[in-house]
Amino acid sequence: MSAIPAATVGRLVTYLRVLTELEQEGVRSASSDDLGAATRVSAFQVRKDLAYFGRFGTRGAGYTVATLRRELRRILGLTRPWHVAIVGMGRLGQALADYPAFDRQEFRLVAAFDVDPAVIGRRIGAVQVESLASLAEVAAERAIDLAFLTVPAAAAQGAVDALAAAGVRGILNFAPVVVTAPENVRVEAVDLSAGLQRLTYYVQAEPATVGEVTG
Amino acid sequence: MSAIPAATVGRLVTYLRVLTELEQEGVRSASSDDLGAATRVSAFQVRKDLAYFGRFGTRGAGYTVATLRRELRRILGLTRPWHVAIVGMGRLGQALADYPAFDRQEFRLVAAFDVDPAVIGRRIGAVQVESLASLAEVAAERAIDLAFLTVPAAAAQGAVDALAAAGVRGILNFAPVVVTAPENVRVEAVDLSAGLQRLTYYVQAEPATVGEVTG
DNA sequence: TATTGTGAACCGGTTCACAGCG
DNA sequence: CGCTGTGAACCGGTTCACAATA
């Protein structure tokens, strides 16, 4: 009932990965126990997560790998190609242009933008870098669905506004700032520096295992 | 009491960011309301998060920016320099070598490793790429605390094992796999492809805003 | 018999209201 | 008087036990 927990969506992604591996290895079926072991999640949790979306298993036998994989791909929206743009062609943006997912069918890099005249015009990966000023025009023309946002923190909010105005539906934000977007634009953060700082917290807090209050 | 919620640790990082900005702008004090507005968190939550670690505010007046910032840096373990290595010098590893945090004091890039002879020996950023085989030796010599793991998914678990054996305490895992590490080694994931797939889930699930069950 | 699917119990994080205090 | 600090209420996600069933 009601909405799906965000944590569930995150786990679906990892189940799908495992199923893809299993399929490649020729494994035909897997139990919630198997999936749980591979993803470090309890078998209860696996079943509950899947139950939000329907009944995919066979009692007594588990899940058919190919079927469940297909269902998860459908649930996660991976059955149609997504047009992706990279905004900000610094080091990180350039590295992302070679992201292996762009070789497969689901994600297609269709544009790259920057404000720096020294970068604009250069061909990187499959695309040529264009001026951010042409975003609206290009977004309409090539039906950009999603964007990788790899601009400096100070420029992130402005870029989000421009992307939202251009009709982009989802943004993967690599900039270390909290940005605000309209209701109809989804932002997911991939935050390296936050991860790094969480890491130092836990590492220095050891050996108390889970982060003792230092008082 | 007991352990600190992981979500709290994540939010501390964003509070710290905001405090750093405020300090640069010359702002002297901030209320939990101010911090909450800037980080998109309720003021209640801000106060509760901080209360896990002590009393940092002044009733009626809010928090002194400089003081709270110093305390959060201490709590997050950012008062001493951390020695970081990058394992896997593909595109992403190379991009990370230029990560701005390495210009500041808290994080120092002290080594870079790869298995590819074509890359070993090349100077990238502040370091020269070394063979992964020399990890144990180099880790001891340069007191590597943390590692950025940017190897292919298939190589990730092996690298984690090697890093753990070499005494590395924390790993920022960029590979799209769930890895297992000993108790005393903390792993934080920075997972681009997972973020991308969560994004497609939410974007396709619109316009039902929070992801309606499709049945 | 083995394993799923699920209502109910549990637990922990978030929200809240207000007491405490500068 | 304003804003923090916090015990209690609330809510939602996780865990669990077991009924359903191939």
Please tell me if residue A28 touches chain B, with a CB cutoff of 8 Å. Answer: no
Banded pLDDT at A207 (limits 50, 70, 90):
low
First vs last C-alpha separation in chain A:
42
For residue A101, the 8-state DSSP code is G
The reply to whether residue B186 touches residue A170, judged by beta carbons under 8 angstroms, is: no
Instruction: Specify burial of residue B96 (Cβ count, 10 A radius: 0-12, 13-18, 19+).
Output: buried
Given this model, what pLDDT does residue B212 score? 34
Strand C and A57 CB separated by under 7 Å: yes
pLDDT in tens, A135-154: 999 999 999 999 999 999 99
Integer Cα distance of B32 and B65 in angstroms: 11
Of B53, B188, B195, the CB nearest to A198: B188
At position A141, the amino acid (one-letter code) is: E
Q: Compute how many other C-beta atoms are within 10 angstroms of the C-beta atom of residue A203.
A: 20
Is the pLDDT assigned to residue A205 strictly greater than 80? Answer: no
Could you tell me the two tokens for B80? 């001493």
The residue among A92, A66, A85, A96 whose CA lies nearest residue A134 is A85
Stated pTM of the model: 0.93
- Please say whether the beta carbons of A98 and A125 come within 8 A: yes
What mean pLDDT comes out for the span A17-23?
A: 98
Contacts of A55 (CB under 8 A, 6+ apart): none
- Please say whether the beta carbons of A111 and A174 come within 8 A: no
- Please say whether the beta carbons of A102 and A48 come within 8 A: no
Given this model, what pLDDT does residue B40 score? 97
Mutual angle of helices A65-75 and A6-24, in 10-degree steps: 140
pLDDT in tens, B168-209: 999 999 999 999 999 999 999 999 999 999 999 999 976 543
Banded pLDDT at A24 (limits 50, 70, 90):
very high
- Report DSSP letters for A166-193, one per residue: TT--EEEE-SSS-----TTSEEEE--HH
Strand C and A52 CB separated by under 7 Å: no
Is the pLDDT assigned to residue A212 strictly greater than 60? Answer: no
Given this model, what pLDDT does residue B207 score? 53
The residue among A140, A39, A170 whose CA lies nearest residue B211 is A170
**What are φ and ψ of residue B48, in 5° steps?**
-65, -45
Please tell me if residue B213 touches chain A, with a CB cutoff of 8 Å. Answer: yes
Tell me which chain B residue has its CA closest to the CA of residue A72. Answer: B201
Q: Share the mean pLDDT of chain B.
A: 94
Of A3, A201, A215, the CB nearest to B77: A201
Residue bearing tokens 């105005």: A165
Nucleotides of C under 7 A from a protein CB: 1-7, 12-17, 20-22
Q: Which domains does chain A have, with CATH numbers?
A: 6-75 (1.10.10.10), 82-194 (3.40.50.720)
Given this model, what pLDDT does residue B2 score? 65
* Closest residue to C2 (CA, C1′): A60
Contacts of B125 (CB under 8 A, 6+ apart): B94, B97, B98, B102, B109, B112
Q: Share the mean pLDDT of chain A.
A: 93
Query: Which one has a higher pLDDT value, B127 or A213?
Result: B127
Strand D and B59 CB separated by under 7 Å: yes
pLDDT in tens, B6-49: 999 999 999 999 999 999 999 999 999 999 999 999 999 999 99
Mean pLDDT check: name the lowest of A24-33, A204-213, B198-207.
Answer: A204-213
